[in-house]
């Protein structure tokens, strides 16, 4: 069931939110998300309900970056990257005064590799100074460009206990409104 919801979310749920009266919920279909094919491999698409933006490595490197130590499978490396939440704002971090229905609190962030591999995050866990997860879009490993099998961009999540959400060959970030996937039940009458 969860796989079907994720597949449905990855197939274009980046549209404007609909109220229950506008669209009846559709059953989830277990279809794998397609890997992005319009990329040159050297850019990252960030797709949000507010629009789409392409990020080249040069644009990413111009942003404030961090040195990210990460150990996995007995190897330790130092990565250079930008905080994922910076690329997703304001889609994941609007204040309640600007987002009365709290739409940004009901969003999922999906990282997609060129090979179709995906990793999911709740928007709340990525919000700066709020969530426990720190994820970085990285372009360097040990002061060198990423190895070809990992890059040119890779998502590193040092706060996770393993590497399951560290997406190699990162091609796309999708911010998806999850509300259509979980329609609210009508209020029960006493």
Residue pair 113/153 in contact by the 8 Å Cβ criterion = no
Helix (H) or strand (E) segment spanning residue 145:
strand 144-145
pLDDT at residue 44 above 90?
yes
End-to-end CA distance of the chain: 31
State the CB neighbour count (10 A cutoff) for residue 57: 18
pLDDT at 27: 35
Q: What is the mean pLDDT of the chain?
A: 77
Q: What is the mean pLDDT of residues 137-158?
A: 95
180 or 146, higher pLDDT: 146
pLDDT class for 107, splitting at 50, 70, 90? confident
Q: For the chain, which residues make up each domain, given as ranges?
A: 2-18+28-181
pLDDT at 128: 74
pLDDT at 21: 37
From 31-45, 137-151, 157-171, the region with the lowest mean pLDDT: 31-45
State the CB neighbour count (10 A cutoff) for residue 86: 15
Model pTM greater than 0.85?
Answer: no
Q: Which CATH class is domain 2-18+28-181?
A: alpha beta
pLDDT at 13: 40
């Amino acid at each position: 069931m969860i796989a079907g919801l994720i597949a449905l979310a990855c197939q274009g749920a980046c549209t404007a939110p609909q109220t229950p009266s506008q669209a009846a919920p559709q059953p989830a279909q277990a279809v794998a998300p397609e890997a992005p094919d319009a990329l040159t491999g050297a850019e990252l698409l960030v797709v949000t309900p507010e629009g789409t933006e392409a990020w080249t490595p040069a644009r990413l490197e111009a942003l404030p970056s961090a040195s990210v130590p990460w150990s996995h499978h007995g190897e330790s490396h130092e990565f250079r990257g930008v905080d994922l939440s910076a690329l997703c704002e304001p889609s994941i971090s609007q204040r309640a005064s600007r987002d009365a229905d709290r739409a940004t609190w009901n969003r999922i962030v999906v990282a997609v590799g060129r090979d179709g591999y995906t990793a999911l995050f709740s928007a709340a866990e990525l919000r700066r100074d709020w969530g426990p997860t720190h994820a970085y879009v990285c372009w360097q490993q040990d002061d060198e460009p990423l190895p070809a099998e990992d890059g040119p961009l890779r998502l590193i999540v040092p706060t996770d206990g393993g590497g399951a959400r560290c997406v190699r060959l990162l091609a796309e970030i999708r911010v998806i409104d999850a509300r259509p996937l979980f329609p609210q039940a009508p209020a029960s009458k006493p």
